[in-house]
Structure 1
Amino acid sequence: MFREYNFFWTTMELCDWDQEGDDDKVLKPVIEYLSKQEDYIIFEFDDLMSELLYHLDTEKLAEQCRKVDPLMNDDSFLYSRCVALINGPDYYKKVKQGNKKSVWDMEFESLLYVPEKAWALKHQSSAEEYPHISSLSYETGSNKKVDNK
């Protein structure tokens, strides 16, 4: 297995931004690319995505989100963290540092389903049969670390 964030970011560069406004169409080239890979590559993509989202699950960023969106809940915070990933590594770093407050009024939930959709397409089966669970959870509140550097 390889642990290289560049794989995640270069895969995300396949997004079709001409389809902006339809998240599924934006992600279609990513799903198609991953579906042609070995299962362990799809699972690695899932693990990298989960890890990146996990590192954005901090009290500092949740509080920042709450200031922008007083109705923030666990899901809206998660879906906004997905925006940080869909916009590339530089944007992600700025969000992680707390320098992109505009991220908290946007969402990109569809990103969460890319690995299972790619696996299902590859195996011509249901995404519900996806056999992998990442070791880190991206769900809001999973990252209990006190130091959020």
Structure 2
Amino acid sequence: MNEHDFWGIIDLLDWEAKTDDAIVRPAVEKLAQLDARSIYSFADLLSEKLYRLDQKEYALHIGEDAWQPDAYFSVDNFLYARACVIANGKDYYEKVLDKPEAMPKDLTFESLLYVPSEAFELKTGKPYDYIPAYPIETYSNKQGWRD
């Protein structure tokens, strides 16, 4: 799987659907048609993009729950906000990389995180236990959180 294929699958998200599961379903089904290595590769690319966004400069611009010194900051909410950036496609992702202020305000999309595991389980009927190339949890990108 290359970058073009990755973004092609992201572009299958059905924003007309009524539920998050229905939104991601076309991407899950397409990914499940590929071999397991391609599913793992998709997970690696997704993890790399989430990792790149795991930086304070992006966390400062997510709306009401933005990072602030000496205040509670939801690491899960920030992970889901980063997923929202990717779910909105390559052009938006690149815009946000260049301009952190373009981070979505008060929007998240957790369901994107489960696309690889759902595709793998749909394809194989087996549990997904792959660990992607990059850690996705907030604060994993140590360089991105340095002052």
TM-score range, shorter chain: 0.7 to 0.9
Over 3 Å counting, the alpha-carbon distance change for 1:109 and 1:147 in structure 2 is closer
More displaced 10-residue stretch of structure 1: 5-14 or 42-51: 5-14
Could you tell me which amino acid in structure 2 is paired with residue 69 of structure 1? Answer: D
Worse-matched range after superposition: 4-13 or 83-92: 4-13
Question: In terms of mean alpha carbon deviation, does 30-39 or 67-76 score higher?
Answer: 67-76
Q: Which residue of 1 aligns with 2:12?
A: 14
Distance 1:147 1:72, change over 3 A: closer
Q: 1:55 aligns with which of 52, 55, 64?
A: 52
Given residue 121 of structure 2, which amino acid in structure 1 is its aligned partner? A
Q: Any conservation in 1 of the 2:36–2:120 contact (CA below 8 Å)?
A: yes
User: Which structure 2 residues correspond to residues 121-132 of structure 1 after superposition, within 5 A?
Assistant: 121-125=122-126, 129-132=127-130
Whether the 8 Å contact between 1:46 and 1:134 is mirrored in structure 2 is yes
Structure 2 residue identity aligned to 1:49: L
Unaligned stretches of 5+ residues in structure 1: none
Task: Please tell me the root mean square deviation across aligned C-alpha atoms, in Å.
Answer: 1.9
Match of 1:76 in 2: 77
Rounded Cα–Cα distance in structure 1 between residues aligned with 2:83 and 2:9? 15
Structure 2 Cα separation of the partners of residues 16 and 119 of structure 1: 20
The sequence identity of aligned pairs, in percent, is 38
Per-residue displacement from partner, 1:95-123 (whole Å, max 9, x unpaired)? 2221414x131010000010000000001
Which amino acid is 1:11 matched to?
Answer: I
Shift of the 146–111 alpha-carbon distance from structure 1 to 2, 3 Å rule, reads closer
Which structure has the highest helix share of the two? 1
Letter in 1 for 2:91: D
* 1:38 aligns to 2:39 (yes or no): no
Gaps in structure 2 of 5+ consecutive residues: 67-71
8 Å contact kept, 2:31–2:119: yes
CA, structure 1 residues 142+59, in 2 after alignment: closer, same or farther (shift >3 Å)?
Answer: same
Q: What TM-score comes out, normalization by structure 2 length?
A: 0.86
Shift of 1:131: 2.7
- Aligned match of 2:20: 23
Counterparts in 2 of 1:72-111, with a 5 A limit?
72-96=73-97, 97-101=99-103, 103-111=104-112
